[in-house]
Amino acid sequence: MAETMTGAQVAGLQRDYVMQSWSRQGTPALPIARAEGIYFWDYDGRKYADMSSLLVCSNLGHQLPEIVEAIKEQADRMCFMAPAYASEPKSRLAKMLVDIAGADFYQRVFFTNGGADANENAIKMARMVTGRQKIFSCYRSYHGSTNGASNASGDWRRFAAELGGMAPGYVHFMNPNMYEDGYTRGVDDEAVTRDYLHRLEEQLQYEGPDNVAAILMESIVGANGVILPPKGYMEGVRALCDKYGILMICDEVMTGFARTGKMFAWQNFDIRPDLITFAKGVTCGYVPLGGVIVSKAVSDYFTDHVLQCGLTYSGHTLACAAGCASVRYYLDHDICAHVKRMEGILKPFLERMVERHKCVGEARCIGLFAALTIVRNKETRELMAPYHAPDSVMPRIMARLKEKGFSTFGRETNINICPPLIITEEELNEYLPILDEVLGWVDETFCD
């Protein structure tokens, strides 16, 4: 058995030998000793409330016994079997996923290792089914860091993928962000929806709709700030897809599995996408897993045509066992209903933060998927950190929150609040005042 390491040793090896994503190498990383429920602890014994579900993946918290035991039991029987063979966990999980998506419309699942390759393979399927090349996706989006998923992404993290030249066939369009665009939610929705759908259809015409295989969208924009679409917008995009024979892909990697109070976020709208990509919450990160749920029409196409997609670990046995346990827990414990009850605490609190603090421009919350837009000047809506700002103060704000035991993340000018879905009323009431306190500090330190 390996000798137990100290926190300093763990951090030192990380610094010297691990390539850290989205960072300059050598950046210090906090060593974590253990995690349980909504908490994790460093090697000094300091406790942090995980108010972002890590990367919005630990939906059922840390070390949930039902998932841990399912992994152990499966490990005792069989850890892995190649994709060409049927295994009980893979077969069971595929049916469970089709059932929660809607077995009247959906048929099969292609399993991947995570969210980026789920989107990558959904794009490939859309191109194969339609015989078309172009993929439309939003500027305000993130779909993963593989080459295809990076090119589909809209935020600055796609820039590295473009160093060797843009991959062919990717077209970005601007999706609405009502607050940053100067509108008022609940008042201007109809006008914003009409304007943005007109622009999108115009762009489709210029690109040639007969050349467009799919429109890929996050059902609700996640990492870029939990951007809620204006009323009618998602239905309008679906209508454009139907009008021009374009497939609609909904990226549910972050929003899936009860995060919004529905098993999938697209179920909050009057739409049904042709392909649904998922990852994160399907296993809560205990074992990596992702995939694509496809409609009967897409599935039928591949009855007579070869599916030219494949991964060594597609439908990994241990991962699917964890997925079965996770999905059972969501359903057996009615996590969607619990999330809606907790929304009744979180949403009013965040709305009070808008009224109370100079630095909070807007609060957005659906289920336990929420974000605050942080501003320097509420009257002018001047953002605290404009898009890809090189001298952003937001890392200082995140660090201040973590110092006080409130661990979360944000991008650009947003603070995301997306705690594990098992969080209790008592836990929310204990940790939300920390956010209030830090926002007061932001008011005094950074606001005009």
User: Rounded distance, CA 70 to CA 93, Å?
Assistant: 13
Alpha-carbon distances of 304 from 131, 219, 330, rounded to whole Å = 15, 30, 35
Residue 34 identity (one-letter amino acid)? R
Alpha-carbon distances of 105 from 94, 100, 293, 302, 336, rounded to whole Å = 14, 11, 10, 16, 22
Question: Which residues of the chain fall below pLDDT 70?
Answer: 1-2, 164-165
User: Rounded distance, CA 431 to CA 433, Å?
Assistant: 5
Those residues whose C-beta lies under 8 Å from the C-beta of residue 184, and which sit 6 or more positions away, are 178
pTM above 0.95, yes or no: yes
Across the chain, which distance is largest between two alpha carbons, in Å?
A: 65
Task: Give the pLDDT of residue 166.
Answer: 75
Total number of residues shown for the chain: 448
Q: Where are the beta strands (DSSP E) in 336-447?
A: 360-366, 369-377, 382-383, 406-407, 414-417
- The helix (H) or strand (E) run that includes residue 189 is helix 189-207
Task: Give the pLDDT of residue 244.
Answer: 98
Task: Give the pLDDT of residue 238.
Answer: 98
Task: Give the pLDDT of residue 411.
Answer: 85
Residue 404 identity (one-letter amino acid)? K
Residue 414 identity (one-letter amino acid)? N
Task: Give the pLDDT of residue 89.
Answer: 98
Residue pLDDT, tens place only, 384-409: 999 888 889 999 999 999 999 999 99
Other CB atoms within a 10 A radius of the CB of residue 420 amount to: 25
Sort 77 into a burial class: Cβ within 10 Å, 0-12 / 13-18 / 19+.
Answer: exposed
Residue pLDDT, tens place only, 409-436: 998 999 999 999 999 999 999 999 999 9
